[in-house]
Amino acid sequence: MDKKIAMVGVGNMGGAIAMALAKKGYSLILSNRSLEKLEKFKSFDQVEITRDNREACEKADYIFIGVKPQQMEALVEDLKDSLQKPLVSMVMGKSLGDMEALLGHKKLVRIMPNTPAQVGESMTAAAFGQDLNSEERQDIQELLMAFGAYKEVPEDQFSAFCALCGCMPAFIDLFIEGASDGAVYCGLKRQDSYEFLAQTLKGVAKLLEESKKHPGVLKDEVTSPAGSTIKGVHELEKGSFRYLISQAVITAAKNS
């Protein structure tokens, strides 16, 4: 794609997406109030960095916005004339309707990625505005796939998606930490346990994706009668493991 992409706001998520795009050779201009967060991009020849949001937007063909919700109105007030381009928003809590009202146009995409974007493995929800032409839509789809997978999701399901995929990396990391503690207790080295768990989780995810089997069926394939796995599952269920995971997602959705 011979287009320049601006990223306004290079925080955790904006930075993750920018890094994935930079590694794939896209032409970027990154704008952030703090130059400290831009330092790691200086080694990429195709990446410009600036503290000037207007410069970033005016040079770009497509604009990604990754600022905090409370900063959005001031940003638009300052840059409205520069934002009349296809714009991808990851601003929490701002619907397409909200963005249309602020910007006065509908060349918009609302996305909700997650932190594995930084290694090109995000799961991203996307809702497309009405006025994107076919080339613009195709270009944005290419950009979304450059940092992982995406799926079009109705906006009224974004809160549930956020809880399931936006919050889930933290839940999984918590699980990994606890599992690693158990492994270390049993004699494994900490770093080895992380390596083993990471590969196991990748394998489980790929098996679920490719086999199309119900996760309960996959679980049953590992649990032999009176074996160590079913005894471990029994311990998890004594602590209401599935209920707690379900409630974590529901609680996160209510607060998204």
Distance CA 204, CA 149 (A): 18
Which strand (E) or helix (H) includes residue 30?
A: strand 27-31
Give the pairing type, strands 87-89 and 62-65: parallel
Beta-bridge mates of residue 123:
149
**Is the separation of the CB atoms in 15 and 8 below 8 Å?**
no
116 contact partners, CB below 8 Å, separation of at least 6: 122, 123, 148, 169
Please indicate if the annotation marks 53 as binding a ligand: yes
**What's CA 62's distance to the chain center, in Å?**
19
Residues 137 and 126 sit within 8 Å (Cβ to Cβ): no
3: Cβ–Cβ under 8 A, 6 or more apart, which residues? 27, 61, 62, 139
Structure tokens at 215: 């996760």
193 vs 183: CA distance, rounded Å: 7
210's tokens: 């490719």
State the binding site.
53
State the binding site for NADPH.
53
